[in-house]
Amino acid sequence: MKHMNEIIIFDGECFICNRFYKWLLRNDKKNHFMFTNIQSKFYSENSNIDKSKDSIIVIRNNKILYESDAINYIFKKTKTQSFLRFILSIFPRFISNSIYRTIAKNRYNFFGKKETCYIPDKDELKRFIN
């Protein structure tokens, strides 16, 4: 499978992460992104990724984005004008990353954990790495 230039890695067990993934599938009209999750072989075998970061990850042009940088990039690429994008843009990076880390650390408590894996349909599967 040919990988596109930009890959999003998300937590496949996190309820809100899966909702965001599904939202991206609908809103990434130009198919900029390929997807995988932190439970995948791709993630576990990629030594360039800082696995100590509890974050959504964007890999673009061999550069790795974490935390609010990743979210901001995704919103920019999908041309999303949302309240969250506005909030992230008005705070300095150290504050938005601190907020991101707090939410990420507590995501299962705040939003729940999926007991079953999401099964992509055949069209979504084309954009999924292992």
Q: What are the backbone angles phi and psi of residue 84, rounded to the nearest 5°?
A: -60, -40
Read off the pTM: 0.84
Statement: residue 2 has pLDDT above 60: no
Please state the domain extents for the chain. 6-125
Closest C-alpha among 24, 33, 28, 96 to residue 60: 33
pLDDT digits (tens, 9 = 90+) for 119-130: 778 888 888 887
pLDDT digits (tens, 9 = 90+) for 54-77: 889 999 988 999 999 999 899 888
Residue 93: count other Cβ atoms within 10 Å of its Cβ.
Answer: 12
The residues, ordered by sequence, that sit 6+ positions from 92 with a Cβ below 8 Å of its Cβ are none
Q: Tell me what the pLDDT averaged over the chain comes to.
A: 85
